[in-house]
Amino acid sequence: MLLKKVYTLVFISKDQQILLGLKKRGFGVNKWNGFGGKLEPNETIVEAASRELKEECCIRVKTTDLKNIGHLEFTFEGDKTMMEVRVFGSKLFEGIPRETEEMLPKWFPCNNIPFDDMWPDDRIWFPYMLKGQLFYGRFHYKDLDTILNYHIEELKSM
Ligand code: 6OG
């Protein structure tokens, strides 16, 4: 039996650019990623997504502006936990991204994503997100650098 843990992951975009953050500590340290984390008790998934974005890079997005664009599942060899990651996107936001203790935010052109310094799975599902396609992906990792096997598909609805 797998123990499921739910996470959020938010990508803000504007003018053919996407906002990524360099993770400064914890899981995924030194990797560029979207903004997100675990749900707190009594919080909906979109509330968690909006809160994490504010906490990690100081920008605000209304929960109603967050679109669920993808669903990812991660498992690791020898670990009974499955990370279920709900991916959200928005072009609407308020504020200027600022560095926090957790993340260093930076805008990247959509045709110049720093995949070499990201989770290996990102190379596989980012193309769906960048084309505006909804997606489901599951990835089984051998260790933090190596994907043993995966499945990815476009979804018609979430
Ligand atoms: P905290 O531990 O900071 O939340 N996350 C992943 N994102 C990608 N792109 N690939 C992975 O491959 C990931 N594993 C976890 C989910 C961790 C944040 O990192 C995301 C959360 O937004 C294994 O609370």
**Closest among 120, 47, 135 to 87, alpha carbons compared:** 135
Given pLDDT bands bounded at 50, 70 and 90, which one contains residue 1? confident
The best mutation among 10, 25, 27, 77 to test binding of ligand 1, ranked by most ligand atoms within 8 Å of the C-beta, falls on 27
Looking from the CA of residue 144, the nearest atom of ligand 1 is 23
Query: Does residue 122 register a pLDDT over 90?
Result: yes
Q: What is residue 73's predicted lDDT score, i.e. its pLDDT?
A: 98
**3-state DSSP assignment of residue 1:** coil
Q: What is the pLDDT of residues 60-119, one digit of tens each?
A: 999 999 999 999 999 999 999 999 999 999 999 999 999 999 999 999 999 999 999 999
Using CA atoms, how far apart are residues 140 and 151, in angstroms rounded to an integer?
A: 9
Single-letter code of the amino acid located at 74: F
Query: Does residue 157 register a pLDDT over 90?
Result: yes
Contact between residue 84 and residue 126 where contact means Cβ atoms under 8 Å apart: no
Q: Give the global pTM.
A: 0.97
Contact between residue 35 and residue 20 where contact means Cβ atoms under 8 Å apart: no
Tell me the CA distances in angstroms from 28 to 119, 123, 155, one per residue in order: 8, 15, 27
DSSP 8-state secondary structure symbol assigned to residue 54: H
Given pLDDT bands bounded at 50, 70 and 90, which one contains residue 148? very high
Contact 119 CB / ligand 1 (< 6 Å)? yes
Single-letter code of the amino acid located at 86: R
Contact 83 CB / ligand 1 (< 6 Å)? yes
**3-state DSSP assignment of residue 120:** coil
Using CA atoms, how far apart are residues 14 and 43, in angstroms rounded to an integer?
A: 28
Contact 122 CB / ligand 1 (< 6 Å)? yes
Q: What is the pLDDT of residues 20-64, one digit of tens each?
A: 999 999 999 999 999 999 999 999 999 999 999 999 999 999 999
| 156 Cα: distance to centroid of ligand 1 (angstroms) | 24
**3-state DSSP assignment of residue 6:** strand
Residue 43 makes CB contacts below 8 A (sequence gap 6+) with 51
Q: What is residue 123's predicted lDDT score, i.e. its pLDDT?
A: 98
| 28 Cα: distance to centroid of ligand 1 (angstroms) | 7
